[in-house]
């Protein structure tokens, strides 16, 4: 399937968000970030308190995207083979056959990823970065699309294994939902009583080939030189901030670029504006910086540091960016075309 036009991708994405929003109430901004991460081809870390809809978001997002979904509960006794799969002896053929693990799917929910030892956490690294799994010297490619949505509880420390910075860097962005408002929570109760069952099912809006075409469309989004320099300036500012021990790596710059492109496409544009970069700076960079020890004693949050960096670094003027005629033209849903 050819890449889709920005307006078509935006329309399909809005339909996906509307479907997921019928179940996950009042979290449109967070859902847009999760979908932007998927459109950008990355993995998302959902870090928040229990009961705020992290698992529900992953399941309903997979249903709305029409892709295969598997959930893996990470526990202290989980082994790497429980993630990747292993060779088993078949008594009928008298030979060893490979039994794929849950990582062989389109969307893997790594639930409570910080509850399993580092050896098992690392079993996901090759799959997340290389889109493949190596077992007993044999390499198996994962079917595209492949994404990991991992959940973590940020306040529990007993019996947990915090993700090292190198593995955190593999996640394109980190998203938190936060508590709903009282009206939103009341709406959750009303919807639960109305459907008269616990299970929630949403209708698929797209399928795997369409999702791949939506992801490919990001490669045709224009990024002006001033925007690229703005991205580099933001990341460089995290490294020179006196409160930061280790700043964001070049992978942080790539994350800003990819997520900025995704936000542009979600808005129906084929070019990136500074607001796209600002809107993803905190979720893309806050988990990539390490604060000095004394900052933790002062309860300084990495997100606050990134926000202040964004406020301090001058952004290029939006008026100097190009305006494209087809960024506002009407495109019928389902009409795929090579638009670049």
CATH number of residue 262's parent domain: 1.10.8.80
> What tokens were used for 240?
């020179």
Burial tier of 183 (Cβ tally within 10 Å: 0-12, 13-18, 19+): exposed
Q: Give the pLDDT score at 264.
A: 95
176 and 251 fall within a common domain: no
Cβ-contact 4, 214 below 8 angstroms: yes
169 and 152 fall within a common domain: yes
> In Å, what is the CA distance from 145 to each residue of 106, 154, 223, 248, 273?
5, 28, 25, 27, 27
Give dist(CA 207, CA 331) in Å, integer: 19
Q: Give the pLDDT score at 334.
A: 35
Which residue, of 189, 219, 249, is where some domain finishes?
A: 219
72: β partners: 110
Which residue, of 170, 185, 219, is where some domain finishes?
A: 219
Q: Give the pLDDT score at 321.
A: 52
pTM: 0.88
Q: In 3-state terms, what secondary structure has residue 100?
A: strand
> What tokens were used for 66?
């029409």
249 and 194 fall within a common domain: no
Which residue, of 191, 219, 247, is where some domain finishes?
A: 219
228 and 213 fall within a common domain: no
Does the residue 330 lie in any domain? no
Q: What is the DSSP string of 187-200?
A: HHHHHHHHHTSS--
Does the residue 336 lie in any domain? no
CATH number of the structural domain spanning residue 142: 3.40.50.300
Does the residue 180 lie in any domain? yes
Does the residue 329 lie in any domain? no
184 and 66 fall within a common domain: yes
Q: In 3-state terms, what secondary structure has residue 214?
A: helix
35 and 163 fall within a common domain: yes
45 and 194 fall within a common domain: yes
Cβ-contact 270, 324 below 8 angstroms: yes
Does the residue 326 lie in any domain? no
Does the residue 322 lie in any domain? no
Q: Give the pLDDT score at 338.
A: 33
Does the residue 39 lie in any domain? yes
- Render pLDDT for 91-105 as a digit per residue (tens, 0 to 9): 888 888 889 999 999
Query: How many domains in the chain?
Result: 2
**In which domain, by residue range, is 31 found?**
1-219
16 and 159 fall within a common domain: yes
155 and 280 fall within a common domain: no
Segments in the chain below pLDDT 50: 323-340
261 and 146 fall within a common domain: no
51 and 123 fall within a common domain: yes
Does the residue 339 lie in any domain? no
> What tokens were used for 307?
């926000």
202 and 256 fall within a common domain: no
Q: Give the pLDDT score at 332.
A: 35
């Amino acid at each position: 399937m050819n890449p889709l036009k920005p307006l078509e991708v935006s329309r399909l994405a809005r339909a996906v968000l509307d479907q997921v929003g019928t179940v996950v109430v009042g979290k449109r901004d967070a859902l847009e970030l999760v979908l932007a991460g998927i459109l950008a081809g990355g993995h998302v870390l959902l870090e928040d308190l229990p009961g705020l809809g992290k698992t529900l978001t992953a399941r309903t997002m997979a249903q709305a995207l029409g892709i295969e979904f598997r959930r893996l509960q990470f526990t202290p006794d989980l082994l790497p083979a429980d993630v990747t799969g292993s060779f088993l002896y078949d008594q009928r053929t008298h030979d060893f056959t490979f039994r794929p693990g849950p990582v062989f799917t389109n969307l893997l929910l790594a639930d409570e990823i910080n509850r399993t030892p580092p050896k098992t956490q690392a079993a996901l690294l090759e799959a997340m970065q290389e889109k493949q799994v190596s077992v007993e010297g044999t390499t198996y490619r994962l079917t595209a699309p492949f994404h990991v949505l991992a959940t973590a509880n940020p306040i529990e420390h007993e019996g947990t294994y915090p993700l090292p910075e190198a593995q955190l860097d593999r996640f394109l962005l980190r998203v938190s939902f936060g508590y709903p408002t009282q009206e939103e929570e009341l709406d959750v109760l009303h919807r639960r009583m109305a459907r008269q069952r616990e299970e929630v099912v949403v209708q698929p809006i797209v399928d795997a080939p369409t999702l791949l075409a939506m992801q490919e469309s990001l490669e045709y989004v224009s990024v002006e030189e001033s925007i690229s320099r703005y991205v580099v300036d933001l990341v460089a500012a995290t490294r020179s901030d006196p409160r930061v021990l280790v700043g964001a790596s070049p992978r942080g710059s790539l994350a800003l670029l990819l997520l900025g492109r995704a936000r542009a496409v979600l808005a129906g544009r084929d070019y990136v504006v500074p607001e796209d970069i600002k809107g993803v700076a905190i979720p893309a960079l806050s988990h990539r910086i390490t604060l000095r020890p004394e900052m933790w004693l002062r309860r300084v949050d990495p997100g606050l540091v990134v926000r202040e960096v964004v406020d301090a670094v001058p952004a290029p003027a939006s008026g100097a960016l190009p305006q494209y005629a087809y960024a506002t033209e009407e495109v019928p849903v389902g009409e795929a075309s090579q638009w670049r």
